[in-house]
Amino acid sequence: MTLLERINSPADLRQLSMDDLIALAGEIRTAIVDQVSQSGGHLAPNLGVVELTIALHYVFDFAHDRLLFDVGHQCYPHKLLTGRLNMLAHLRTRQGMAGFPEPKESAYDLFSVGHAGTAISTAVGMARGDTLNNEAFDAKSNPTGRRVVSLIGDASIVNGVAMEGLNNAGTLDRQFLVVLNDNGMSISKPQGAIAQYFDRVRVNPVYSGAKTRAKHALEAIPGGGAIRSAYHRLTEALKGSNTWFEHFGLLTIGPIDGHDLPELIEFLTQVKDVDRPLVLHAKTIKGKGLEYAEKDATTFHSPAAHTYDPDSCRVEIRDGGRSFTSAFGDAMCDLMERDEQVVACTAAMPNGTGIDQVLDQFPTRAFDTGICESHAMDMMAGLAKTGLKPFFAVYSTFLQRAFDQAFQEVALQGLPVRLCLDRAGLVGGDGAVHQGFCDVAILRTLPGAVLTAAIDETSLRAALEFMRTYDTGLSAVRYPRDTVSAVLAAKPCPDFELGRARALLEHDEKPDLVVLGFGTPTIAALEAARQVAPEVRADVYDARFAKPIDTELLRRIAALGVPVVTIEDHGIQGGFGSAILEAAADLALPLRVTRLGMPDAWIAQNSRAQQLKEVGLDAASIARTLIRVAAGQEPASSAVTTVVRTGDGARERQG
């Protein structure tokens, strides 16, 4: 039995020798590398925190104490140390281990997290809650109370929410530890002045000297007592370091070696009882222990399944086909080549959004702001105000963080900022924390906003070209984390016209029903319509716009008197289908509308294909729905059917 197989809970760590702990770190790395090479997943960030995670669980008791993760894509070692080794073989699937902290899996996971910058604020909340509940650790009055630790990366700490958390953390009058995992990387290279500050810290001899002086001061702490005087000694030891965190009122120690287990355990043991907010700055290497991940931590941040040939030192990542992200990157480069007024931006996701190609080709007209979506949106507003044509490439799930800016600085001002929403809809293995389920619902509340969706590469290019020339206000195009379909590649793609749908399949005779698709599920609907023919005649339209709706098309459908099925890779509430219902009600059109989309529920991690099947958005499920709707039956799926009647409003029934 391996050391890792003997770890059923963190308590088992404390029975191991230091040599065994070091060997355990190697076993954890091997387990993660072996699994991710088969299934894909977050690789480099997890390899970088193995020793740090072991040390935290060795020193603290997180069955009682609090551990708050930031982002959470570095949680695999934590999960393996908290009894979930048996779930690793099904990583990022419904049957196995989620790729992010998940409270449903274990009490050791306090929050489901997938957005950066939140760990310090949630930790402050738990620290204040424990204090109010008389459960907070205090060396004198409550030595068995709960300690609080947050783990955050150097790229995440620049996020606005993290700054707000630090500002408030400095006011705590109790134990509170922030562990800064400083690997000099986000998914790509961190951006901004604070990232440059950390670069200087790592090479400044003043800080290495401060670490030595702090170590001597810590050695003088008598057990758990005299904490307050020890705090003053630590302050004296660090005088002259002028660390950034101390401006927030947090004592700072480090940087120390985040891969030196004995040193980590020593420092954590000494600081765990300090009765002041404190930062332990640990320097780590992203991808530690795996040569190709260390050399290219960006590529191997979250790779697909891959193989490594040690003889040739070649790594081959399994090719899943051309992605929408790659298609977008190429399209943006073409757009910027043709129009010098076009500028582009991303918030720490150059590779994930395809902006890396743009940054390489147009370095003066493309920007990476770091993990600062709100700032990026406002910066785009400023660029638009100067007459440029800004395109902001952002994951749908991260757009939520910049909605206030989309409202105040963009839509309210009537500024033409263009949003390119990658990872829209179901996202596969990343699960609920990254689902792009509400971008249409939130953006269509903004007066003047124009919302489009792409179904393949040619329609994505057409949508971007439409947005380039749309100067009236905010516009957006959404597309999934998926490969582009070639089903319509041989057909010409007409230009986007504001509020006009595109017919993909029309019958000469009156159809039995009409399908209105928004986004890539339209391709599945087209396949479903062909499957049910000729028994069911289904006309299929690519709606193209969720705002404004093609009202002329709705009037023609209403005149036919046939039912409508709307299909979208978006939440059923507030999405494209809801927009169709509202338009029909406003126009007093009698329509029977069946909406297919993501249900009012959180969809667990799995492959995107399995998730689409689960919610009834694969071709076979859509075909069954078309047959039932054409027969006048309620769908057997999670769809919602609504009848809009002229004069007597609407009623809803669950199908």
404: domain CATH number is 3.40.50.970
pLDDT tens-digit readout, 31-58? 999 999 999 999 999 999 999 999 999 9
State the pLDDT at residue 199. 53
Residue 2 reports pLDDT greater than 90 = yes
Report if residue 544 sits inside a domain: yes
Q: Which of 225-234, 542-551, 568-577 has the lowest mean pLDDT?
A: 225-234
Report if residue 483 sits inside a domain: no
Q: Which of 15-19, 192-196, 231-235, 543-547 has the lowest mean pLDDT?
A: 231-235
Report if residue 491 sits inside a domain: no
How far apart are the C-alpha atoms of 88 and 476, rounded to whole Å? Answer: 38
Cβ atoms of 41 and 35 closer than 8 Å: yes
State the pLDDT at residue 655. 32
| Burial class of residue 386 (count of CB atoms within 10 Å of its CB; 0-12, 13-18, 19+) | exposed
State the pLDDT at residue 216. 54
How far apart are the C-alpha atoms of 457 and 428, rounded to whole Å? Answer: 20
Helix (H) / strand (E) element for 129: namely helix 119-132
Band (362; pLDDT cuts 50, 70, 90): very high
State the pLDDT at residue 634. 73
Report if residue 314 sits inside a domain: no
| Tokens 């700055």 belong to residue | 281
How far apart are the C-alpha atoms of 335 and 365, rounded to whole Å? Answer: 12
Band (213; pLDDT cuts 50, 70, 90): very low
How far apart are the C-alpha atoms of 646 and 652, rounded to whole Å? Answer: 15
Residue 603 reports pLDDT greater than 90 = yes
Report if residue 586 sits inside a domain: yes
- The amino acid occupying position 497 is E
Q: What stretches of 16-118 show up as alpha helix (H) in DSSP?
A: 18-39, 44-47, 50-59, 76-81
State how beta strands 649-654 and 640-645 pair: antiparallel
Most confident of 132-146, 220-234, 291-305: 132-146
Q: Which of 77-91, 153-167, 395-409 has the lowest mean pLDDT?
A: 153-167
Residues 412, 539 share a domain: no
Residues 427, 360 share a domain: yes
Residues 117, 72 share a domain: yes
Report if residue 309 sits inside a domain: no
Structure tokens at 49: 């925190």
Pick 551 or 220 by higher pLDDT: 551
Q: Which of 202-216, 314-328, 544-558, 563-577 has the lowest mean pLDDT?
A: 202-216
Cβ atoms of 28 and 47 closer than 8 Å: no
HSE, CB side, 13 Å, CA atoms: give it for residue 89.
1
Band (637; pLDDT cuts 50, 70, 90): low
Mean pLDDT of 15-27: 97
Cβ atoms of 77 and 24 closer than 8 Å: no
Phi then psi dihedrals of residue 246, to 5 deg = -70, -20
Residues 525, 473 share a domain: no
Q: Nearest-5° angle of CA 102, CA 122, CA 379?
A: 100
Residue 593 reports pLDDT greater than 70 = yes
Residues 524, 441 share a domain: no
State the pLDDT at residue 232. 46
- Which percentage of the chain shows pLDDT scores above 90? 78
State the pLDDT at residue 648. 44
Residues 117, 230 share a domain: yes
Residue 207 reports pLDDT greater than 90 = no
Residues 418, 270 share a domain: no
State the pLDDT at residue 192. 55
Residues 122, 18 share a domain: yes
Mean pLDDT of 424-437: 95
Residue 284 reports pLDDT greater than 70 = yes
Q: What is the mean pLDDT of the chain?
A: 89
pLDDT tens-digit readout, 249-273? 888 888 899 999 999 999 999 999 9
Mean pLDDT of 210-235: 45
Structure tokens at 371: 């993990």
Q: Which of 86-90, 294-298, 505-509 has the lowest mean pLDDT?
A: 294-298
State the pLDDT at residue 70. 94
Band (60; pLDDT cuts 50, 70, 90): very high
Residue 469 reports pLDDT greater than 80 = yes
Residues 445, 518 share a domain: no
State the pLDDT at residue 304. 86
Residues 329, 265 share a domain: no
The CATH number given to whatever domain includes residue 612 is 3.40.50.920
Q: Which of 62-71, 149-158, 323-332 has the lowest mean pLDDT?
A: 149-158
Report if residue 310 sits inside a domain: no
Domain that holds residue 636: 502-654
Residue 140 reports pLDDT greater than 60 = yes
Residues 566, 461 share a domain: no
How far apart are the C-alpha atoms of 386 and 369, rounded to whole Å? Answer: 19
Band (316; pLDDT cuts 50, 70, 90): confident
Residues 353, 220 share a domain: no
Residue 219 reports pLDDT greater than 60 = no
Q: What stretches of 587-654 show up as alpha helix (H) in DSSP?
A: 608-614, 619-630
Report if residue 318 sits inside a domain: no
Residue 245 reports pLDDT greater than 90 = no
Number of domains the chain contains: 3
Domain boundary residue, one of 254, 283, 312: 283
State the pLDDT at residue 218. 52
Q: Which residues are catalytic?
A: 286, 373, 401
